[in-house]
Amino acid sequence: MLIGIIGAPNKGKSTLFSALTMNDVAIADYPFTTIKPNLGVAYATRPCVHIELGVACNARNSLCVNGTRFFPINIMDVAGLVEGAHEGCGMGNQFLNDLSSAESLIIVVDASGKTDPSGNKSSGSNPVDDVRMVQSELIRWLSGVIGKHMNTISKRDDGVEALHEVLAGFKVTESDIERAASSAYLSTSRISWSEESIEKFSAALLQSAKPSLIAANKSDAQGTDANIAALQKEFGADRVVPCSGAVELALRKAAKLKLIDYAPGARSFAWLDKDASKEREEALKYMQAFLKSKGTNVQELINKAAFDLLDNIVVYPVEDENKYTDHFGNVLPDGLLIRRGSTALDLAARIHTEIAKRMLYAVDARRKTRLGKDYVLKESDVIRIVSAAK
């Protein structure tokens, strides 16, 4: 899974990326600090099922800390986006090409309103305009890709297949294309769309195939409440996450230095630094108060992206349904993120294609009951796949 962090310059993208991944990246108050995309790993969290089952787990593909399971998620922070990027302005074409492989997007905006949609310092800017600019550039970029190939596409009877070939590097399926065309009320037989129709299709495809969250960053600044409310009214409260990458990064650095005991997503921390200077003490007091009043919500942001936006659940495959172990005796070693609505057969395919081909049935390890291949998986299921494959 790859999530892209996007937005105009000076919105705090690189700071947020560092807070999520603890990677050292260039952070500065000028455009295009990020030239090549920064790649890192963040962790989405869920309560580990070992607590419910009353066993101690041996996490292998993830981490388990105090009953919380941390699942690795690949994150990409790309170059700042400016108006006209689809035409090559700024780092436009490079940025948009880097973005192609992402499954979902986090659009970072400045909730303080102290930077305009191009990233220049200002006062009273509306972050709604930040989002609109990014959305417009994405739509016009994708429209341009499709428009360049429209002459070739129009000669094919099967427009879905033709579009899928053109968008091969965009990580979309033929089903995504069909849904987007249907949503835009466009025929896919012998496609010959106008520029307006291409833009409608592109908007629909981006919405379904690369869904986005809005990170209302710099929420620790004064006067952000009105801007956050405006974003939530315009785009929906479930799509807007007020957050502070700067405070979260400071907390994680302090925890790394063992000045505090802080878990990502917590609303408080324990003080470990008994000899803090007055300046450090004031900074820690400020961050403690901010956590209690608002929270940085950086962990919530990645959780919403991984589980809500992409509609994933966590399932634990095991080989022994009585001991909840794998072949080597590890207890609940792997937690897999899998799309909601997936079946036991889909889980078998994630484990190994040959196991799926020769699958006989599944077992619910909690209830010790047999399940069919078409059983629809549920959150925190512990499942044994029984297959004729060795």
Among candidate residues 104, 211, 101, 81, the one with its CA nearest the CA of residue 167: 101
pLDDT-derived band at 319, boundaries 50, 70, 90: very high
Report pLDDT for 123: 84
* Ranges 34-48, 63-77, 206-220, 257-271: which has the least confidence: 34-48
Instruction: Note the CATH number of domain 2-37+78-238.
Output: 1.10.8.470
Report pLDDT for 354: 95
Q: Are 180 and 204 in contact (CB under 8 A)?
A: yes
* Ranges 81-95, 124-138, 139-153: which has the least confidence: 81-95
Give me the mean pLDDT over the 319-325 stretch.
Answer: 96
pLDDT exceeds cutoff 60 at 373: yes
Q: Which residue has the higher pLDDT, 390 or 274?
A: 274
What are the structure tokens assigned to 9, written together? 């310059």
Neighbours of 78 (CB within 10 A): 25
Report pLDDT for 17: 92
Tell me: the pLDDT tens digits for 35-75?
Answer: 456 789 999 999 999 999 999 999 999 999 889 999 999 99
Q: Which CATH number fits domain 308-387: 1.20.5.510, 3.10.620.30, 3.30.470.20, 3.10.20.30?
A: 3.10.20.30
- CA-CA distance, 21 to 15, in Å (whole number)? 10
Report pLDDT for 258: 93
pLDDT-derived band at 311, boundaries 50, 70, 90: very high
pLDDT-derived band at 122, boundaries 50, 70, 90: confident
pLDDT exceeds cutoff 90 at 96: no
Q: Domain map of the chain by residue range? A: 2-37+78-238, 245-293, 308-387
Mean pLDDT of the residues in the chain: 89
Report pLDDT for 84: 58
Q: Is the pTM of this model over 0.75?
A: yes
CA pseudo-torsion sign 139, 140, 141, 143: positive
Give me the mean pLDDT over the 310-327 stretch.
Answer: 96
Give me the mean pLDDT over the 308-313 stretch.
Answer: 94
- CA-CA distance, 7 to 132, in Å (whole number)? 11
Return the top range by mean pLDDT from 87-91, 191-195, 275-279.
Answer: 191-195
Report pLDDT for 92: 44
Report pLDDT for 29: 42
- CA-CA distance, 189 to 46, in Å (whole number)? 44
Q: Which residue has the higher pLDDT, 24 or 157?
A: 157
pLDDT-derived band at 87, boundaries 50, 70, 90: low
* Ranges 34-43, 69-78, 207-216, 350-359: which has the least confidence: 34-43
Q: Are 334 and 63 in contact (CB under 8 A)?
A: no
